Structure 1
Amino acid sequence: MTAPATTPSPEVSIWRRLWLRRQLAIAVLAIIGIAIHLVLRFGMSVSPTTFNLPLWITLAVGGIPLILELLDKVVHLEFGADLLAGISIVSSALLEEYLAGSIVVLMLSGGEALESFAVGRASAVLKALAKRLPSVAHRRNDSELEDVAVNAIEVGDILVILPHEVCPVDGVVIEGHSVMDESYLTGEPYMMSKTPGVSVMSGAVNGDGALTIQAERQAVDSRYAKIMEVMLKAEQQRPRMRRLADQLGAFYTPLALIVAGIAWYLSGEATRFLAVIVVATPCPLLIAIPVAIIGSISLAAQMGIIIRIPAALEGIDRCRTVIFDKTGTLTYGEPRIYEQWTPEEADPLETLALVASLERYSKHPLAEAIQREAGAAAVAVYDVTEVSERPGEGMRGIVHGRNVWITSRKLLLKQQPDAALPEQHGGLECVILVDEKLAAVYFFRDAPRREGKRFIDHLGPRHNIEKLMLVTGDRESEAKFLAEQVGITEVHFNQTPEEKLELVRRETATADTLFVGDGINDAPALATATVGVAFGQNSDVTTEAAAVVVLDSSLETVDKLLHIGRRMRRIALESAVGGIALSMIGMLIAAAGWLPPVAGAISQEVIDVVVVLNALRAAFPPRELTDYDK
C-alpha cells in the first residue's frame, strides 16, 4: 500500500533524526565531561586547568549551539525558562562556575532530546499502520493463485484471503464463508459474518475460513489508507501543549532580567548583574519539574499505566472535556447475553443447558457469549450428536435426546411466519427452537463495564469535568443504549475516523480534552486530543498514537491516572513556585550587594536540593489513588 501523498519527505525525516542525535550527543558529552571533572578534581591531585578542561569542552561544544538556538527564541520574543538557562550558561562561564554551566547544558540538551523524541513519533504511528497491512496479496488467475504486491491490485481483481490474514483492499465476497474482526476499524465489538455479497474492509482480520473477494478499490483508495491519511493530518495539526515550566518561565525570566538590570544600573557594577542571574538560574523549573514528572511516571508504571508523552501528565488535570469511544472502553469489547426471553412453558435454565452444549461445537461469533452465560449459571453439560452448521442455515444437533435448532429471526419467519417472537431489540439476537417449538430468544450486546456509571458520575464533582461525550463508529441503537446505562447525554454514533478527528479538534479548540479509546479508528482522535489514553495493547497503532497507555483496560486505572496527574502538577508547582520564591529572595539580596556571585551559586545549590527533595515525593504512592465507589 502506498503512503498518502502528504507523508513527510525523507529530507525532513533525516533532518529530524540528525537533530535528535545531536541533542543526545550533547547530553552524553555533558555527562562524560561532568564525570571526568569530578574524578580529576576529587580523585587526583591535578591543577584547576586540568580538572576544568572537560567542562570547558562541554561548554564550548554543547553550550554554544544551545545558546545560538536560544538567541533565535529571543528574536521571536519567546521568553521561557530555557532562555534564562542560556544566560546562566554564559554567566557561569564568565564567573568560572563551569560545573554549574555544564549541568545546565545537560538539562537543556536532555530535555530537548526527549521532547523531540516524543513529538517525532508521527512516523512511528504511520509505520505501525503500514506494518499491519500485508504487502502481498493472493490474486487468482483462472484456477491459479499468484502473489502480487498490494500496490499492484486493480479494481475488479479476484483475491483470496486465507484464514487469519489481513484483508488488503476494500471489496465484496464472491465465494466462501468466514467471520472478520473489524472492531478496530468500525467500533463494532462483534466478529462480523462474511458470506457472498457482503462487503469487506481493508485492515480487517479474517477468521478460520478462506474468502474469495473482488476488489472494489485500489489499496491507496481503501478504507485503511484513508485512516493512514487522517492519522498523518492529525499529527501535523497537533496542538502543542504548553509546558508548566514554560508557563512559569514566561514571567520569571523577564522578572529576573529586570531585577539584574536594575541592580547593575543602580550600583554600576556588572558583578551585581551576574550575581542576580546566578541566583536566578531556573533550576527549580529545569530540575524540580522533571523530577516530579519522572517520579510520577514511575508511580504510574507501578499502577499499570505507561506514560509515553510526559507532557500528558502536566496537561491531564486541566482537561475539562472527556470524550469516550464505546467499544472496549466503556464496554468490555465483547458480546454478552443481556436478556433471555422464554415462553411461559419453557424452562430457561434447561434451554440454556441445551443451547450451550450444542454451541461447544460452533464457530459462530456468539457461541462464546452463550458458553460464558452457561458457565455463570452452572447449568448441566449434555452429550451432542448429529451436529450440523451449514452457512446461512443456523446450527442443528441432537442434545440429550432433543432436537435443538439455533437460528435467526429471519430464517424462522421464513418457515413459521406466525411465530410468536418477542419485539426485536438493538444489538444481536439468536432464536432457539427445541423439538421444533420456540424455546428462547437471546439478546446480545456489548455489555457496559460494571463500574462505568459510578466512574462517569464522579468525573464532574471530583475532577472538574464539565462535558462528557460518547463518540463511536457503532450503530445508533448500541450507542444510545450504552449512554443511557452509564449516564452520558451527548452521543455521536456512526462516526468515521475523519469525523471523530474533526469532532475532537473542534472540542479541543474550546477546552482541553481527554480522549479514551482502543481501536485503530481512534488513532487520529487520540493524537489530536490534549491527552489521548489508549486502553490495552491490542493495537500497536493506538499505543503509538496515544500519550498514555492503560495496560489493564479498566476505568479504575484511568481514575488513578487522573489523580497521578493532579498530584504531579501540585507537587511540581509546590517545588517550582517555592524554589522561585526562594530564588527571588536571593535575587533581592544579591541585588543589594549582600550576596556575591560565588555565594549566590552556593545558595542556589541549596535551593535546588530543597526543591528536588520535595519533588521526589511524586514517586511515592499515597494511601489512595481513586475516589469513587467501585
Structure 2
Amino acid sequence: LVIATPCPLLIAIPVAIIGSISLSAKRGIIIKNPSVLEQIDDCTVMILDKTGTLTYGRPRLTEIKYFNGFSREDALKYAASLEHYSRHPLAGAIIEAAQKARLAFSNVNEISEPAGQGLKGTVNGHEVMITSRRKLIAQGQQEALRGIPESGGLECLVTVDGKIAALLRFHDEPRQEGKFFIDHLNPRHNFKKVMIVSGDRESEVKYLAEQVGISEIHAGKSPEEKVEIVREETKHAKTIYLGDGINDAPALATATVGIAFGQNSDITSEAAGAVVMESFLGKVDELMHIGRRMRAIALQSAVGGMAVSVLGMIAAALGFLPPVAGAITQEIIDVFAVLNALRAAVPPKDLTDFEERS
C-alpha cells in the first residue's frame, strides 16, 4: 500500500501543463484555457479568417471612384472622419490616405458599427455609412449600383444621406509564409480539411484561396453565419478557428480551439482560448507543437511512473520490497516523474518544423 500511490498521475500532469504554459508565454503565446494544449493536436479541421490572418491586414487605398456630384476630397473626408473611430483593418488605410491628402477630420456624432453591417455616423450633419456592395443590394439599392463595376480586390462603398458618394478599392498582400503553412498542415499535423470563412466578397476570398492553396471557401459571411459554419464543422470533427477581428470573436468561442491572431482586439483575445501575440503563422505552428509535446511528456511521466509503481506493488506483494524500501522507492518514482514533466518548460532544439522552411 505504501508504494501504491497515484502520485505520478496527480503531480506529473499538472506540472507538464504549467511547464507548457510557461514555454508558450516565453514564445509570445498566451494560454488562457489549458485545455487548448490538450486538444489542439486532436484537431483535424482548420478554419481561418482572411483579412489580417492570411493577409498582413495592412491594406492600402489604391483607387477612389466618386459619384453623384461628390468630389474625391469630399468622399475621402467623410469616410476618414467616420473611420477615425473604427478598428476595422480598412480604417487605417482610409485615414492614411486622408492624411497624405492633408484633409482635416470633421466632427462625428451617433456612431454605430453593427456586426457585419458596416459603419454609420453623422458627419457635419450628414448621415454617412461605409458598407459593402452586398449590404447595399440587400437594402434594395441594386439600381444605384448598376453603373459601378465590380473588381476582384477589397472594396467598400461610402454613402452620404442615402446616396452613393464613392467606391474605395484596396490591396492587401497575402502573408509570405501563408502557402507553406497551409501546405504543411496535412502532412505534419494530420489536418483533413482547411477552409477560409470570411465576411469579404467571394471574388476577394477566392483570389486569396488560390494563392495559398485552399479549395474550400465561405465568403460574405456575417459573424452569426461564421458561428453556424464552425458549429456544424465541430459536430463532425475537432476544429481550430484562427482569426484576428472583432467579428471573429463568436466563432473563436464556438470552435474546439479558438486562437486569436495578433493583438488587434481585446474582445477577440477574451473569446479565444489562446492568443498568439506576434502576427506570424509560424507561431501557430509552435503552439501546435507545444501541445503535442506536452501530451507526450505528460503521458511519459504519468504512465511511466504508474507502471513502475505497479512493478513495485508486485515486488512488495511477493515479499521482495519491505515497507520502508517501498516508501523510499515511491518517492524516487515521484521525483523522476516530476523531473521528466518539467522538461515541458524547457525549449527543445526544434520547437517547430515551419520557420526553417518559411
What TM-score do you get using the length of structure 1 for normalisation? Answer: 0.41
CA–CA distance in structure 2, aligned partners of residues 520 and 442 of structure 1: 22
- Residue by residue, what CA displacement relative to the aligned partner does 1:470-518 show, whole Å, maximum 9, x if unpaired? 1122222222222122111111122233322222222222222111112
| Cα separation, partners in 2 of 1:338 and 1:490, compared to 1, 3 Å | farther
User: Hey, what does 1:327 align to over in structure 2?
Assistant: 51
| Cα separation, partners in 2 of 1:388 and 1:324, compared to 1, 3 Å | closer
User: Hey, what does 1:515 align to over in structure 2?
Assistant: 241
User: Hey, what does 1:426 align to over in structure 2?
Assistant: 153
| Cα separation, partners in 2 of 1:485 and 1:612, compared to 1, 3 Å | same
Shift of 1:537: 3.1
Runs of 4+ in 1 over 4 A off after TM superposition: 337-340, 364-373, 387-390
User: Hey, what does 1:317 align to over in structure 2?
Assistant: 41
CA–CA distance in structure 1, aligned partners of residues 5 and 272 of structure 2: 34
CA–CA distance in structure 1, aligned partners of residues 105 and 96 of structure 2: 20
Question: Which amino acid in the other structure matches residue 251 of structure 2?
Answer: A
User: Hey, what does 2:10 align to over in structure 1?
Assistant: 286
The answer as to whether partners of 1:338 and 1:447 remain within 8 angstroms in 2 is no
CA–CA distance in structure 1, aligned partners of residues 353 and 273 of structure 2: 23
CA–CA distance in structure 2, aligned partners of residues 605 and 538 of structure 1: 48
The correspondence for 1:619, drawn from 345, 351, 356, is 345
The answer as to whether partners of 1:336 and 1:447 remain within 8 angstroms in 2 is no
| Cα separation, partners in 2 of 1:598 and 1:450, compared to 1, 3 Å | same
* Identity among equivalent pairs (%): 62
- Residue by residue, what CA displacement relative to the aligned partner does 1:413-470 show, whole Å, maximum 9, x if unpaired? x9xx9xxx9984332289xxxxxxxxxx995233322211111111111111111011
User: Hey, what does 1:572 align to over in structure 2?
Assistant: 298
1:545 to 2:271 alignment: yes
1:471 to 2:197 alignment: yes
Question: Which amino acid in the other structure matches residue 470 of structure 1?
Answer: I
User: Hey, what does 2:180 align to over in structure 1?
Assistant: 454
| Cα separation, partners in 2 of 1:552 and 1:590, compared to 1, 3 Å | same
Question: Which amino acid in the other structure matches residue 47 of structure 2?
Answer: I
| Cα separation, partners in 2 of 1:425 and 1:502, compared to 1, 3 Å | closer
Shift of 1:535: 1.6
CA–CA distance in structure 2, aligned partners of residues 317 and 389 of structure 1: 49
Shift of 1:548: 0.5
User: Hey, what does 1:411 align to over in structure 2?
Assistant: none
Matches within 5 A, 1:231-250: none
Secondary structure, aligned partner of 1:280: coil
| Cα separation, partners in 2 of 1:311 and 1:597, compared to 1, 3 Å | farther
The answer as to whether partners of 1:320 and 1:512 remain within 8 angstroms in 2 is yes
Question: Which amino acid in the other structure matches residue 293 of structure 2?
Answer: R
Question: Which amino acid in the other structure matches residue 562 of structure 1?
Answer: M
Matches within 5 A, 1:169-180: none
| Cα separation, partners in 2 of 1:585 and 1:556, compared to 1, 3 Å | same
User: Hey, what does 1:185 align to over in structure 2?
Assistant: none
Question: Which amino acid in the other structure matches residue 313 of structure 1?
Answer: L
CA–CA distance in structure 1, aligned partners of residues 319 and 252 of structure 2: 53
User: Hey, what does 2:113 align to over in structure 1?
Assistant: none
Question: Which amino acid in the other structure matches residue 311 of structure 1?
Answer: S
User: Hey, what does 1:505 align to over in structure 2?
Assistant: 231
Give the unaligned 5+ runs of structure 2.
Answer: 65-71, 84-89, 107-143, 158-166
CA–CA distance in structure 2, aligned partners of residues 494 and 422 of structure 1: 18
| Cα separation, partners in 2 of 1:316 and 1:478, compared to 1, 3 Å | same
User: Hey, what does 1:307 align to over in structure 2?
Assistant: 31
User: Hey, what does 1:67 align to over in structure 2?
Assistant: none
| Cα separation, partners in 2 of 1:468 and 1:605, compared to 1, 3 Å | same
CA–CA distance in structure 2, aligned partners of residues 460 and 339 of structure 1: 39
Secondary structure, aligned partner of 1:549: strand
1:296 to 2:296 alignment: no
User: Hey, what does 2:261 align to over in structure 1?
Assistant: 535
Secondary structure, aligned partner of 1:481: helix
Secondary structure, aligned partner of 2:316: helix
- What is the CA RMSD across the aligned residues, in angstroms? 3.4
Matches within 5 A, 1:63-78: none
Shift of 1:590: 2.5
CA–CA distance in structure 2, aligned partners of residues 476 and 508 of structure 1: 23
CA–CA distance in structure 2, aligned partners of residues 294 and 578 of structure 1: 19
- Residue by residue, what CA displacement relative to the aligned partner does 1:128-174 show, whole Å, maximum 9, x if unpaired? xxxxxxxxxxxxxxxxxxxxxxxxxxxxxxxxxxxxxxxxxxxxxxx
1:559 to 2:292 alignment: no
- Residue by residue, what CA displacement relative to the aligned partner does 1:72-122 show, whole Å, maximum 9, x if unpaired? xxxxxxxxxxxxxxxxxxxxxxxxxxxxxxxxxxxxxxxxxxxxxxxxxxx
1:585 to 2:311 alignment: yes
User: Hey, what does 1:595 align to over in structure 2?
Assistant: 321
CA–CA distance in structure 2, aligned partners of residues 617 and 592 of structure 1: 35
The answer as to whether partners of 2:61 and 2:170 remain within 8 angstroms in 1 is yes
How many residues of Structure 1 are paired with residues of Structure 2 in the alignment? 288
What TM-score do you get using the length of structure 2 for normalisation? Answer: 0.70
User: Hey, what does 1:212 align to over in structure 2?
Assistant: none
- Residue by residue, what CA displacement relative to the aligned partner does 1:526-575 show, whole Å, maximum 9, x if unpaired? 22222111123333322222110111122111111111111111211221
CA–CA distance in structure 2, aligned partners of residues 496 and 591 of structure 1: 65
Shift of 1:328: 1.9
The answer as to whether partners of 1:425 and 1:443 remain within 8 angstroms in 2 is no
CA–CA distance in structure 2, aligned partners of residues 446 and 550 of structure 1: 21
Higher relative contact order (CA 8 A, sep 6+): 2
